[in-house]
Amino acid sequence: MNEQTKAASSAQTPSQPVTTGAVTGPALPEPTKTNYKLLFGIIGGVVLFIALITLLVILAFNYPAGTAVVRDIFIIALALTSVLIGMLMLVLIFQLQSLIMLLRNEIKPMLTNVNETVNTVRGTAVFVSNNLVRPTINFASFIAGLQGVQQAIAGRANTTSKRPKTPGAGASGSQTGKQP
């Protein structure tokens, strides 16, 4: 870092962001060492690939017989690789077939059983609601209505004979607002 950068960074507090005058998008994170390693790895791989291609071209012009042998070796390697990939594709197809059979023979019956169980629970809930809960609620409502009627009758009898006198009750109270 040069002198101006050190002076500028030491003069600012952590609460003051560094501004350059131009408004840009959100701040980008600083590159880390792993990014540099990846960048150097990619550049090294490209340089190595170019060097290998250059070496193969030089060898092809200088040693045509050796180049034919290398070509034949690469053709054989590619053929073996193709055979290996074909075998792995067959294994993958058989595994996929096994998965489909598992889903068809194991999972589908389980889902059918779960669906039947849900329908049974739904039917049970409807039965309990219609034959137990609804009559209980109707009976409780009837009893509450009878209690309300009883309290209304008892309340009228009590209010006509024993009405409490409260001062300042206004028009709804026993006082009519007249002074004695």
Identify which has the larger pLDDT, 179 or 132: 132
Q: What pLDDT was estimated at residue 1?
A: 47
Angle between helical axes of 33-62 and 64-102 (0-180°, round to 10): 130
Tell me what the mean pLDDT of segment 33-59 comes to: 88
Q: Are 134 and 140 within 8 A, CB to CB? A: no
Provide the domain count of the chain: 1
DSSP structural state of residue 170? G
Residue 1 lies in a domain: no
The pTM assigned to this predicted structure is: 0.39
Tell me what the mean pLDDT of segment 46-71 comes to: 88
Tell me what the mean pLDDT of segment 30-34 comes to: 57
Q: Are 97 and 90 within 8 A, CB to CB? A: no
Tell me what the mean pLDDT of segment 156-170 comes to: 57
**In the chain, pLDDT over 90 holds for what percent of residues?**
43
For residue 57, the enclosing domain spans: 33-62
**Average pLDDT of the chain, as a whole number:** 79
Q: Are 166 and 173 within 8 A, CB to CB? A: yes
Residue type present at position 125: A
Residue 73 lies in a domain: no
Residue 43 lies in a domain: yes
